[in-house]
Structure 1
Amino acid sequence: MGPCTSPSLLLLLCLSVILISATHATDCSSLKLAGGKKQYSNCTELPTLNSTLHFTYNATNSSLSIAFSAPPSKPNGWIAWAVNPTGTGMAGAQTLLAFKANGSMVVKTYNISSYSSIVEGKLSFDVWDLEAESDKDGKMVIYGSVKVAASTEKLNQVWQVGPGMADGGPMKHDFGKANLAAVGELQLVEKLSPAAPSPSPSTQASEKGPNSGYWVSGINAGFWISGLISLLILM
């Protein structure tokens, strides 16, 4: 074994690989936007309609910046992302809807008061920096910022895709399983679990036998030792 393959170096290499893997697991690069011209603190792959949401919540001014990406159900269709302050479905949704008009992407706002009333209009909260784009693969992206109530921790979000526009408004979307399931909560602030009270010394002593250690430490030590032995055998 040469000087560059000492046990200390092998242990360091193992640790580096694990740290790189953990970093990649929380990286939003796998959910790239069509244009990728803006950066966001968080990203999530939404459970239906092949859609993603990138977002940054600013508690200082109670605003939420978003980038919603999805393919429309047809090439000249539309995509939409909404916040529902009063319910969990479409009725009451404050909607940002994007589509292509005269060759350019546009974003319109719709205050959907009911399933039978989808009329363009002002939302119940402020919105700004609205824009949209599409990529060569047909996906569309809605960019924008919305005002949320102070101290908001989560929102009811709704997303949808449709076939096109007609008579100045969006044509009806499909009512398949994926469309009907396009609702959920958006957690803006992650709550930390309260720390468990520290056990008394007598409790700790009663929970450990004479030859036992903490099981987490044992597992970690075993992991490193096993990995080190495996690497040494292979060399």
Structure 2
Amino acid sequence: MAGPKPILFTLCIVLCSLHMASSQADSCANHTFSSDKAFDSCTDLPVLGAHLHWTYNPAAASLHVAYRASQSPSGWIAWAINPTGTGMVGSQAIVAFQNSDGTMNAYTTPIDSYSPSMGAKELSFRVSNVTAEYTGGEMTIFAVVGPLGNGTTGGANQVWQAGDSVVGGVPQAHAASGDNVKSMGTIDFVSK
């Protein structure tokens, strides 16, 4: 008859295996999009449960991107490139949230202050084919970004964000502490 030690050891092995499988499943490299879209590169962003996938097209100097992040149906997500600085102000963002009827809303908006309007406006570079989906507790933004100029491809400044609520079709302010103020960095779209 087996004693408690072998059972505990087996339980520990099973739990460790599940944790490792879960960690690998969360990796961008293992993600399969519901729309059968595929991307050449991806990175797991360090905060906000976010991941960025992209394919760089050198002939068009453009990016096909998919930004996805864990989010509740009542929240919003955003991903941006900042061609002029490293923080939020000056970033050129794509925002997505779920409408009250369950459809997704996605559009571009420049972030020109710490209290931006978050209304739909054109960016300083071209963005097309903007769509979004909500599935499995994640929101995903799809877009074609570019053509891009200097400062937006090799070593580009990116910012990503998430907020808890949308009121009257307008994303409300995100938290001003914790991971929400750590969600920025540089990324090289060309060589990765």
Residue 137 of structure 2: aligned partner: 138
CA contact 2:28–2:51 (8 Å) conserved in 1 = no
Residue 180 of structure 1: aligned partner: 181
- In the TM superposition, residue 65 of structure 1 has moved relative to its aligned partner by 1.0
Residue 60 of structure 2: aligned partner: 61
- Distance of 1:63 and 1:42 partners within structure 2: 14
SS at match of 1:178: helix
- What CA deviation, in whole Å up to 9, does each residue of 1:161-198 have, x standing for no partner? 1112124421111123211110011112339xxxxxxx
The percentage of counterpart residues that share the same residue type is 40
Structure 1: 5+ residue stretches without partners:
1-23, 192-235
CA contact 1:85–1:155 (8 Å) conserved in 2 = yes
SS at match of 1:189: coil
SS at match of 2:96: strand
- In the TM superposition, residue 160 of structure 1 has moved relative to its aligned partner by 0.6
The residue type equivalent to 1:126 in the other structure is R
SS at match of 2:179: helix
- Distance of 1:162 and 1:94 partners within structure 2: 17
What TM-score, normalized by structure 1, do the two folds share? Answer: 0.64
- Distance of 1:174 and 1:155 partners within structure 2: 24
RMSD: 2.1
What TM-score, normalized by structure 2, do the two folds share? Answer: 0.78
CA 129–180 in structure 1, closer or farther in 2 if over 3 Å, else same: same
Say which structure is richer in strand.
2
- In the TM superposition, residue 143 of structure 1 has moved relative to its aligned partner by 0.4
- In the TM superposition, residue 75 of structure 1 has moved relative to its aligned partner by 3.2
Residue 128 of structure 2: aligned partner: 128
Structure 2: 5+ residue stretches without partners:
1-23
CA contact 2:73–2:98 (8 Å) conserved in 1 = no
SS at match of 2:162: strand
The residue type equivalent to 1:179 in the other structure is N
Q: 4+ residue runs of structure 1 moved beyond 4 angstroms?
A: none
Residue 196 of structure 1: aligned partner: none
